[in-house]
Amino acid sequence: MSDLKIAVILGSTRPGRNGKAVADWVMDRAGARTAAEYELIDLADHPLPLLDEPVPAVRRQYRNEHTKAWAAKIAAFDGYVFVTPEYNRSIPAALKNAIDYLHQEWADKAAAFVSYGTFGGVRAVEHLRVVASELQLAHVRQQLSFSMFTDFENWSLFKPGEQHDATAPVLFGQLESWARALKTVRA
Domain parsing of the chain, residue ranges: 5-186
pLDDT in tens, the chain (187 residues): 689 999 999 999 999 999 999 999 999 999 999 999 999 999 999 999 999 999 999 999 999 999 999 999 999 999 999 999 999 999 999 999 999 999 999 999 999 999 999 999 999 999 999 999 999 999 999 999 999 999 999 999 999 999 999 999 999 999 999 999 999 999 9
Q: Which CATH architecture has domain 5-186?
A: 3-Layer(aba) Sandwich (3.40)
Helix (H) or strand (E) holding 142: strand 137-147
User: What is the DSSP annotation of 2-62?
Assistant: -S-EEEEEE----TT-SHHHHHHHHHHHHTT-SS-EEEEEEGGGS-PPS---SS-GGG---
Quote the Cα angle for 16-21-26, to 5°: 145
pLDDT at residue 30, rounded to an integer: 98
Strand 79-85: give its sheet, edge to edge. 37-42, 5-10, 79-85, 109-117, 137-147
pLDDT at residue 172, rounded to an integer: 98
pLDDT at residue 2, rounded to an integer: 84
Instruction: Report residue 158: phi and psi, to 5°.
Output: -75, 115
pLDDT at residue 69, rounded to an integer: 98
Exposure of 20 in the CB half-sphere (CA atoms within 13 A): 11
Tell me the residue type at 42.
D
